[in-house]
Amino acid sequence: MPIKQGPAALLDDATPWNGLYEQAAEKQNDLVSEVRTAVEYGMHDPVDSVEMACTAAETAGATVQALSSPWSLYTPQDAATVASALFVQLRYSADALAELQRAVGRVVERGEAELVAPAGAGESTNLSDALESLRALSDTIYGLVARHASTTVRALHAAPGSAPVPADAHQTVAAVAALLAERREGTVTLNTGHEDGDYDPHDDDGFGCGCDVTILVDGEEYNFHRGDSEWSLTRASDGLETSSGSTVYDSWETMSTTLKTAHPQQLAGDILKVLAADQSARQGSVGSLRVVTTDRN
């Protein structure tokens, strides 16, 4: 099923390579906001310096972990935004190394550290050598960013991509249903909760469009849906009927992403893993899949 590609960040000829980072950082982001609040509050002593340096190190490590996920990027344009941010990070790292050199120089100027001549052959490196290394490393990083940032970011942003990124939660649900029908044995039903065109993504309160998907496998009925800004999969056998006749669940499977416009293959893969694990536990077999659309209106 064709799905419209979501809007990409703007990077035209008049926009510098770091524009993608700036656009992404301006979007609602609690982590970025916390750092910016700290900067606005002011940083004036060694505790601030150490805390920010450690925060930067932790953030760099977290970026490595985030990018290691199989679904860390959906499109080359996602990669362009990440590259833009990483090159900005490199440039700030060069700035920090240069500032570190100057800060140590101020300690020396106060007479609180001694700056001796650079170490000679066979001698251990000293403070002078360390300061020269900081300067040289800073210059090297500046040079790398100047040579590679713009061309790398622009090439990634311009690269064609064919990822079926949905435009809203309804397209996500419908695409997942279609993928499950293609990949799995059983019966898949796309349950529609609205007429075509009635769903307004801007009014989405975290519960999607009201549509869901039921999957019948080996006598167990699963339901894939969006609620509380998450994608979830429930088993009918886990449902508890209340005195009012409604069914509640105290256990469910949460999918690996909360994105309303997540890649359908990512969500379908999460669901298939749950079904495979359950099927293995039952040691059962299932029949062929078909998609059935029902209208609840």
Residue 212: its pLDDT value, please?
Answer: 93
Residue 266 has pLDDT above 90, yes or no: yes
Residue 7: its pLDDT value, please?
Answer: 46
- Please classify residue 231 by burial: count the beta carbons closer than 10 Å to its beta carbon, then call 0-12 exposed, 13-18 middle and 19+ buried: buried
Summarize pLDDT for 1-54 with one digit per residue, the tens: 334 444 456 788 888 999 999 999 998 688 899 899 989 989 999 999 999 999
Over range 205-231, report the average pLDDT: 90
Residue 297: its pLDDT value, please?
Answer: 57
Residue 107: its pLDDT value, please?
Answer: 94
Residue 49: its pLDDT value, please?
Answer: 95
Summarize pLDDT for 49-107 with one digit per residue, the tens: 999 999 999 999 999 999 999 999 999 999 999 999 999 999 999 999 999 999 999 99
Q: Sheet with 187-192: list strands edge to edge.
A: 253-254, 230-235, 220-227, 212-217, 187-192, 291-295
Residue 8: its pLDDT value, please?
Answer: 53
Confidence of residue 294 (pLDDT cuts 50, 70, 90): low
Helices (H), ranges, 159-206: 169-183
Summarize pLDDT for 122-152 with one digit per residue, the tens: 888 899 999 999 999 999 999 999 999 999 9
What is the DSSP annotation of 42-80? ---SHHHHHHHHHHHHHHHHHHHHHHTSTTS-SSHHHHH
Question: 148 phi and psi, to 5 degrees?
Answer: -120, -20
Confidence of residue 117 (pLDDT cuts 50, 70, 90): confident
Confidence of residue 193 (pLDDT cuts 50, 70, 90): confident
Confidence of residue 121 (pLDDT cuts 50, 70, 90): confident
Distance from chain centroid for Cα 280: 31
pTM: 0.82
Distance from chain centroid for Cα 99: 31
